[in-house]
Amino acid sequence: MSERLTFNKKMIMSMNGERVEKLVEGLDAMLDHMRSDYKSWSDSSNARNPERVRDENGETVSDRMCREYCASLEYSMGKKYVKVTDGRSVKAFVVACDNDKKFEYGDILKPAGWKTPARNFRRGNVLDRSFGAVRWTGA
């Protein structure tokens, strides 16, 4: 299981281990998608500025920013949702329960704030690997 996802004991006892593993794999795939989107965005902006200054380690500012962004992405389990953050802001919420009246298990939701998702419509599903509406900025 991923070291990035934290559970409390009560949640582990109430969840199917195989479903949790599929959820974690989907979350990892979504984070990889967000990382590659950030890299693509960074590379396209660098193409407009070919003379990039390198620091003493030979790294450009955009390379450093890309490395820091990629390392900062993480997720944590709440009561009903998995919260995806970059350390400073919430990027998405993922439904991690079966008793939601409107959404399915694994649906990606846009954040409405630090603690709650926007419940208007889903932006994809981590189990289906449908990340069409997910960018590096979030869902």
pLDDT in tens, 23-41: 999 999 999 999 999 999 8
User: Rounded CA gap, 125 and 11, in Å?
Assistant: 21
List the chain domain ranges.
9-125
Q: Could you tell me the end-to-end alpha-carbon distance of the chain, in angstroms, rounded to an integer?
A: 24
Tell me what pLDDT residue 14 has: 52
Tell me what pLDDT residue 18 has: 83
pTM above 0.75, yes or no: yes
> Does the pLDDT at position 133 exceed 60?
yes
Give the pLDDT mean for 60-79. 89
Residues 22 and 29: beta-carbon distance below 8 Å: no
